[in-house]
Chains A and B, each alone.
Chain A
Amino acid sequence: MSLVELRHVSKSYGEGAGAVHALRDVSVSFDAGALVAIMGPSGSGKSTLLTIAGSLEEPTSGEVLVDGVCVSEMSRDAKARLRRRSIGYVFQDYNLLPGLTAVENVALPLELDGVPRKRARSAAMEALEALGVSGRAACFPDELSGGERQRVSIARAVVGDRRVLLTDEPTGALDSANGEAVMGLIRGACRRGVAGVMVTHDRQLASWADDVVLLRDGRIVGPTPPDAPPAPERAR
């Protein structure tokens, strides 16, 4: 079942001769339980596709459907609600909120959605526990290692039954051991029914995905990279 669907999406920045076409007539869908890697050279439109899929940006043309509902027809508040309830993001540089502890960072999306603090905290603790960082729940972001930050970031992205997980170079700032651990967690989330989308340059990382979408100059040029290496067995 497609949780996120992009239909003939184009995105341009600027106007006239100086316009930059980041995406050109892209149609793609992301299903529940599957992890899709988006690959391509710099400037190919990978991150733009991710942000449009996550309702962070409006397409210039085309439409985006999340759970069958057209996002472009939604109000700003409705989009915010959609992001609170359905879409989680994991960024390369973690983007944890300063001033909030790990558990508070994870609980914040729930609290923003009106969940009472106690219940939000308890759900956040569950998420942290599942990711193996519950022992660091009271730490502030600057007291955590890179791997721990990214786990907290993933916990924040999946907490509260979110069904779409969008990740942008999730292991870019991590060493290989931590990177593999994080990929395992993302993969695990997808096995539980989450639709995962991962932007990456790394072919090795792409091998964790069920499908790979190749982008070049804003266009999808192939469903899978021709020379994709086999994914590690333990991760499957």
Chain B
Amino acid sequence: MDHLIELIPLPYTDAVVALGAAILGITAGVLGAFAVLRGRSLVGDALAHSALPGVAIAFIVTGAKDTGSLLVGAGVAGIVAALLMVGIEQTSRIRPDAAIGVVLSSFFSLGIVLLTYIADLNNASQAGLDTYLFGQAAGLLERDVALMGALSLASLVVVAVLFRPFKVTLFDPSFASSVGLRVRVLEITMTTLIVVAVIVGVRAVGAILMVALLIAPTVAARQLTGRLGRMLVLAGVIGAAVGVSGALVSMRAEVPTGPVIVLVAFGTVLLCLLLAPGRGVLWRAGKLRRDRRRARNEGVLVDLDTAVHAGPPPTERELAQLSGRPRREILRGLRDLHRTGMLERDGDRIFLSGAGAGAAHGVHERRHLWTLWLEHGAELDLPDAREPDPHDLRASLGDEHTERLFALGTWRPPSP
């Protein structure tokens, strides 16, 4: 531990906090995935609230506000809560969110009743039992960080060992049980791992803010990759990065660590949701606009090509009538085509330029190829399950198969 802390180029206390935040981020990132992917993101919320009666009972039993025993109390209560949640879901028609809600409110109510009981004992030291809800990373000691590290390492080892069964259970629980996996046990294990993650985070950022830390890295990582293994690693990395940067900022600005980490985490999620290639909201919106424009321009180009071949060059009005498209679509398409040099105009009349004729020929060829694919695709004997992309069949099938398709198109069965 000491060596690790010395390696970090920061003052001692800062290094301890940074290391703690990194451990916390990795743990929450990796373990949180098992809550988010099962559609039970708010398990962390229920566990956070269920810690209250656990802490209260530990206090009643030991009579002292010792961090260790309180954490044990919170952990045991968390596991009981986790079992109850899984139990309610599996034995009744209550959905996960309501099951989480029922357990959350029951445990917290119990906690409040127990707190009033403790207050009646007139024990002065009970004050602040509920501060675990907030946490303070600045007060982290090396001892705390060592404990967090040990718990985190243990749970990550469990994840590594059970990675495959977990993956199967997450993706298809009924298949998992059909191949002999004990799905219930695995689900309880996953939920228990989340209990561990909450315990790891309680001292540093507080139970409530752990909810976001369990969710944010997975949501962000999911935007960037579709593969579970990579996603877990990425969630761990994002969690660690968010944790360390949040911790450092909060120490500079002398504000509580947890909230800053949550702000950084949310910012990261928002960026990924908006911009991630392939899935981001803005990325998709941009793509959609380009696709639509392309579809429209191609359509108008082909209509114009058809019209030019059928008779004299049309006017805009004639083209609109001929093509059956709304006039606005035609006008916009023509504007775009004009800008890219596909058209020439002679007064009202519209011609295709050389480039335009070439492009129209290209579209015709691609459409012809698609027709050929529909007709002869089954005869192609593709080596794998590749799917054709209608827009660009050549690219998705490969040149060789495209040529064969053309050949098949001209081949006719000899008449008997």
Binding between chains A and B = no
